[in-house]
Structure 1
Amino acid sequence: MTKYARDEFDRVPETSTRQGVHRTVSAPRSRRLGPILSFGAAALAIGLVAFLLLPKLGFGPAGGSAMTADQASNNAAASPAPTTAAATPSASSEPTGSLAPAGSTPSASATPSAAVDKTQPVAIYNGTATAGLAGRVGTTVTSAGWVLGPLGNWGGARQQTSVVFYNGPAQKANAEALGSLLGIATLVDSAEFKMPLVVVLGPGFK
């Protein structure tokens, strides 16, 4: 009991309802965030599934195909198209000299001929019954630039045809040139003569 007298505040009816300021106990904060977190997780899962599956099903962003087409056109413009002139070799790129196929024999025109030495003296002998034939042929030889050697009648074995004798392979080109000049086809390599070139006029020579 207190020493103070009772007043109006001490008269509280026992059957009356609760009076005074009171606050309702709020629900835990975690219960309010639960639905929000659940909705966010579901939205995230749906977005992830859409991001992974829709491109595989052919549903992509509208600008994707346009971007791909633009890139393709840019790449096509950047890469130069091959021209016919590049694919086909031009005439100027071909070698000027013709090459002979493997195993073929070069023609006579391709083979360099040995130089003809007209300073070699040419002896001319008449093996026919025509008088003065050696002198006439000697004039033809000197007129062609050859050095004329001895002239005379042939005293050896009777020749069946006209012959150009040459002494050694080094004189073969000279013998061929003389035969072409005089129309003599028979050429004989012989070391019996001291002269490098000997022309024997046989029957039928004109």
Structure 2
Amino acid sequence: MTKYPNDEFDRVPEFTNRKGVHRQAITGTAVRRSPLGWIVGFGILALVVGLFSFFVLPQLTGNPVATTAEASSSAPAAPSASATDDAGASSTDAASNAASEEPGASESAAAASSKAAAESAAKASKAAASSSEAAASSSAAASEPDLSAKVGVYNGSRRSGLAAAGKSTLSGAGFTNVSAANWTKKVNTSIVYYASDADKATAQKAASALGINAMYQTTQIPGKIAVVLGSDF
């Protein structure tokens, strides 16, 4: 028999009205159930019922769940070509009717467009005429000799007084700004040099007055026009 240590139950007074005092034997640890277990159980049960209703029950009742292919095949068909043509014809008729109902606006727009095109053509023609006149005037100015231009006459031979004789000839032809000097080296053939196209007419006038046939354009000359008289002058 198990021997317990003395406690309050061993201290019993001599006279007492208390009856049936005893120790409760410990038979085991009390297990307290958590409500979480019930929630998990109900969730599993609901899942099983749902799967059964979705997969098994339709097979038993003869109404299986439609597949994706069947659902796509049951979609509404696109409108036929005849319906599209009818719609296009209707829109074309409506546009034609709208155009026929407003002839005045179309005619006004066409008239305005024609007027604008005519004005643009007139402006372009005027600009082209102005450009042509400017080109013609510049060409005419270039073709006219400038008798006031500076012309240098150079003696390229060993004959004394040749440059002075050339200067006298050009002065008699109307040139007003002529100078005479010696060339740096001996030249056999007389030539007239000019710097640019604008000086060509003046150079031609000087060459014609002196009876010189050779002309050459270059910037390597003193001044704009240089007349070099050779031994053949």
TM-score bracket for this pair, using the shorter chain length: 0.3 to 0.5
Considering fraction of residues, name the structure with more helix: 2
| TM-score, length-scaled by structure 2 | 0.38
| TM-score, length-scaled by structure 1 | 0.43
